[in-house]
């Protein structure tokens, strides 16, 4: 590809800012149902072929930075470029930037872009586009969930067509991560109403692929770009087929309509291991993978609700919940219990913090201390004449979360709590209930970014309508730990701050952290270059290829 020694640049940049995340997470389990197609081959990769993937929802917006849903982000990462990106070892590496310099003890960053990065209309990507993207991200009228990092910047200085500098008032741990955000094209978006621009449905691209077709509710097709600055990708097309129902998606995989999908635990444990077929059946054409995903599922409380305002009640519920029973029942064992907001085994986890042990007697003792007991003998705990009754909300279409909520209903019912479960369509669930605080408890999950900063989720400044701290958790101690964690580049000091944060969250229990689940992708065996790391198989898609005889 030419250019600088990227490995050297990566090591200099990442070590300088202490942002290389460790790779000491549990090794992924790779299970083969036939000859491994992912093994390295001595032959040169062939160009051609297409990859058809299953998506459980349609994209919402293909303007980078303006969409927060996972499908839009999954598509956008093939359409745009950013100054830096995470590789499959959770290390930041240069991408659109040819070099990155860390100056003034981390208060100033200097980026030099590659020359010759072209937008899909032939215009060159320059620092004008970078500056425009920055202005869009800090504009209060921009509906973006990613403004926080850009707002921490004191000044962006354009040096020349390919070089710019970023200045911070104080050290900001996410200063480099900020520039993993895709760059937007100034020459077509300047002056556009970003809420109504046609470019949200027909974006201009500088990444390895361009949009070829988008049929809402059915499919999104991307085609390879010959003029991508790092070289044309191997696969001609990437296809995202929208199939909301997990069972239907699995049938499409079996019948050859999909090459790749994320399996449910049921599909992984039972249906993809022969599925009642004779040897040599459909499943022999696929390789199953298993790795611990970057995220966690939790029971979140509305802390403005009097039922959950007493920390003794929240600790009692933590003792009343049998996490392993939930993992076995909802995930068929495909998960690990969690005690905080980080993936088990990662460098940031505080090993001294363990999940509250399942102990129903201890739970009843704590509830009694908070005034909850069966005073009227009807089997339901009550206080001041009010029964301990509430509803757990979760979203329709997610069978795993519904199973989790149902098991919680049973476990807490055995404690003497009256629990109902209600499912709501996803968009309404978020906008009408979660964002507005119109709920008592929810079962939800967070997908974790590689950086451990969870300021937006737990800092008190985010406990506002539409904020990610929708449980309304207010803690000066947690605020201080979060602020300390993002105000240093030294990973050892960040580790101290986040260890303290985990101790505070464990004590306060704004969530009952339940489990981290294994991600269970299945990929057709004809694809080579499939590589599993802490971020799973998706980052390696840009290197996948299919032998010409199998296209």
What would the two tokens of residue 213 be?
């077709």
Q: What is the mean pLDDT of residues 507-511?
A: 97
Over the chain, what is the mean pLDDT? 89
Q: What is the mean pLDDT of residues 497-526?
A: 96
Q: Which superfamily does 6-25+81-194 belong to?
A: Dipeptide-binding Protein; Domain 1 (3.90.76.10)
- Is the pLDDT reported for residue 138 higher than 50? yes
- Is the pLDDT reported for residue 19 higher than 70? no
Task: Give CB contacts under 8 A, 24+ apart, made by 453-460.
Answer: 453/173, 453/174, 453/482, 453/485, 453/486, 454/341, 454/482, 454/501, 455/148, 455/482, 455/483, 455/485, 455/486, 456/148, 457/341, 458/341, 458/482, 458/501, 458/505, 458/510, 459/483
The answer for residues whose C-beta is within 8 angstroms of residue 508's C-beta and 6 or more apart is 311, 314, 473, 475, 478
What pLDDT, on the 0 to 100 scale, is given for residue 523? 95
Q: In this structure, is the dihedral angle defined by the CA atoms of residues 180, 185, 186 and 190, taken in order, positive or negative?
A: negative
What pLDDT, on the 0 to 100 scale, is given for residue 280? 54
Answer with the residue of higher pLDDT: 231 or 427: 231
The answer for residues whose C-beta is within 8 angstroms of residue 11's C-beta and 6 or more apart is none
CATH code 3.60.20.10 for 295-518: no
Answer with the residue of higher pLDDT: 111 or 456: 111
Q: What is the H or E stretch that residue 10 is in? A: helix 6-17
Give span(s): CATH 3.10.105.10, the chain: 295-518
- Is the pLDDT reported for residue 18 higher than 70? no
- Is the pLDDT reported for residue 241 higher than 70? yes
Distance in Å from the first CA to the final CA of the chain:
26
Q: Which residues pair with 183 in a beta bridge?
A: none
Q: Please choose, from the candidates 196, 494, 544, the residue with its C-alpha nearest in 3D space to the C-alpha of residue 342.
A: 494
| Dist. CA 101–CA 111, nearest whole Å | 7
Decide: 537 and 339 in contact? Cβ < 8 Å: no
Q: What is the mean pLDDT of residues 56-77?
A: 89
Q: Any idea which fold 32-56+208-291+520-551 has?
A: D-Maltodextrin-Binding Protein; domain 2 (3.40.190)
Answer with the residue of higher pLDDT: 279 or 300: 300
Among 27-41, 280-294, 504-518, the range scoring the smallest mean pLDDT is 27-41
What pLDDT, on the 0 to 100 scale, is given for residue 276? 39
| Dist. CA 465–CA 306, nearest whole Å | 19
The answer for residues whose C-beta is within 8 angstroms of residue 430's C-beta and 6 or more apart is none
What would the two tokens of residue 288 be?
């199953």
| Dist. CA 341–CA 505, nearest whole Å | 9
Decide: 100 and 110 in contact? Cβ < 8 Å: yes
Query: How many CB atoms within 10 Å of residue 10?
Result: 18
Among 90-104, 126-140, 261-275, 418-432, the range scoring the smallest mean pLDDT is 261-275
| Dist. CA 350–CA 184, nearest whole Å | 38
| Dist. CA 493–CA 346, nearest whole Å | 16
Query: What string of DSSP letters covers 468-537?
Result: S-TT----HHHHHHHHHHTS---HHHHHHHHHHHHHHHHHH-SEEEEEEEEE-EEEETT-B----BTTBS
Classified as helix, coil or strand, 310 is: coil
CA distances from 141 to 14, 82, 135, 145, 355 (A): 33, 22, 11, 12, 41
Predicted confidence (pLDDT) per residue in 419-436, tens digit = 999 999 887 898 899 999
pLDDT band for position 36 (50/70/90)? very low
Phi-psi sector, 155: left (phi>0), alpha (psi -120 to 50), beta: beta
Give span(s): CATH 3.40.190.10, the chain: 32-56+208-291+520-551
Percent helix, strand, coil in the chain (nearest 5)?
30, 20, 45
Give span(s): CATH 3.90.76.10, the chain: 6-25+81-194
The pTM is what? 0.80
| Dist. CA 494–CA 292, nearest whole Å | 23
Decide: 367 and 381 in contact? Cβ < 8 Å: yes
Return phi, psi of residue 22, to 5°.
-70, 160
Q: What is the H or E stretch that residue 83 is in? A: none
Answer with the residue of higher pLDDT: 448 or 27: 448
The answer for residues whose C-beta is within 8 angstroms of residue 154's C-beta and 6 or more apart is 167, 168, 169
| Dist. CA 255–CA 241, nearest whole Å | 14
Decide: 283 and 272 in contact? Cβ < 8 Å: yes
46 burial (CB, 10 Å; 0-12 / 13-18 / 19+) is middle
């Amino acid at each position: 590809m030419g250019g600088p020694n990227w490995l050297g640049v990566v090591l200099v940049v990442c070590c300088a800012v202490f942002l290389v995340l460790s790779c000491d997470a549990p090794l992924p389990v790779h299970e083969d149902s036939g000859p491994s197609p992912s093994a390295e081959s001595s032959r040169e990769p062939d160009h051609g072929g297409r990859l058809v993937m299953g998506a459980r929802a349609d994209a919402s917006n293909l303007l980078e930075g303006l969409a927060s849903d996972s499908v839009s982000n999954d598509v956008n990462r093939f359409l745009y470029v950013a100054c830096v990106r995470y590789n499959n070892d959770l290390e930041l590496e240069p991408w659109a930037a040819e070099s990155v310099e860390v100056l003034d003890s981390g208060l100033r960053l200097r980026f030099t872009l590659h020359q010759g990065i072209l937008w899909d209309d032939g215009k060159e990507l320059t620092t004008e586009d970078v500056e425009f993207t920055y202005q869009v991200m800090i504009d209060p009228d921009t509906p973006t969930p990613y403004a926080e990092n850009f707002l921490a910047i004191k000044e962006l200085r354009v040096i020349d067509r390919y070089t710019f500098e970023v200045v911070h008032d104080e050290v900001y741990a996410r200063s480099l991560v900020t520039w993993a955000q895709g760059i937007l094209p100034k020459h077509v978006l300047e002056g556009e109403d970003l809420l109504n621009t046609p470019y949200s449905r027909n974006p201009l691209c500088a990444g390895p692929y361009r949009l070829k077709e988008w049929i809402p509710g059915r499919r999104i097709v991307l085609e390879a770009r010959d003029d991508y600055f790092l070289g044309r990708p191997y696969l001609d097309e990437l296809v995202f087929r929208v199939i909301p129902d997990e069972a239907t998606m699995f049938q499409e995989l079996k019948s050859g309509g999909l090459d790749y999908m994320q399996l449910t635990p049921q599909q992984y444990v039972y249906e993809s291991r022969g599925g009642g077929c004779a040897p040599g059946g459909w499943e022999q054409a696929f390789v199953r993978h298993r790795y611990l995903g970057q995220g966690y599922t939790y029971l979140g409380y509305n802390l403005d609700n009097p039922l959950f305002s007493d920390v003794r009640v929240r600790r009692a519920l933590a003792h009343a919940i049998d996490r392993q029973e939930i993992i076995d029942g909802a995930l068929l064992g495909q998960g690990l219990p969690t005690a905080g907001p980080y993936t088990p085994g990662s460098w940031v986890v505080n090993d001294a913090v363990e999940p509250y042990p399942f102990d129903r007697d201890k739970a009843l003792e704590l509830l009694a201390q908070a005034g909850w007991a069966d005073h009227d003998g009807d089997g339901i705990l009550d206080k001041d004449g009010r029964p301990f009754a509430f509803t757990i909300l979760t979203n329709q279409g997610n069978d795993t979360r519904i199973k989790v909520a149902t098991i919680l209903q049973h476990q807490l019912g055995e404690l003497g709590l009256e629990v109902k479960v209600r499912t709501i369509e996803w968009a309404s669930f978020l906008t009408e209930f979660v964002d507005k605080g119109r709920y008592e408890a929810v079962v939800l999950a967070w997908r974790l970014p590689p950086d451990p900063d969870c300021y937006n989720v737990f800092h008190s400044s985010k406990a506002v309508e539409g904020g990610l701290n929708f449980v309304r958790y207010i803690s000066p101690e947690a605020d201080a730990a979060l602020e300390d964690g993002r105000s240093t580049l030294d990973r050892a000091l960040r580790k101290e701050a986040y260890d303290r944060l985990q101790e505070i969250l464990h004590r306060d229990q704004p969530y009952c952290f339940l489990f981290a689940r294994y991600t269970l992708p299945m990929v057709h065996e004809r694809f080579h270059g499939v590589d599993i790391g802490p971020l799973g198989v998706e980052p390696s898609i840009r290197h996948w290829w299919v032998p010409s005889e199998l296209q």
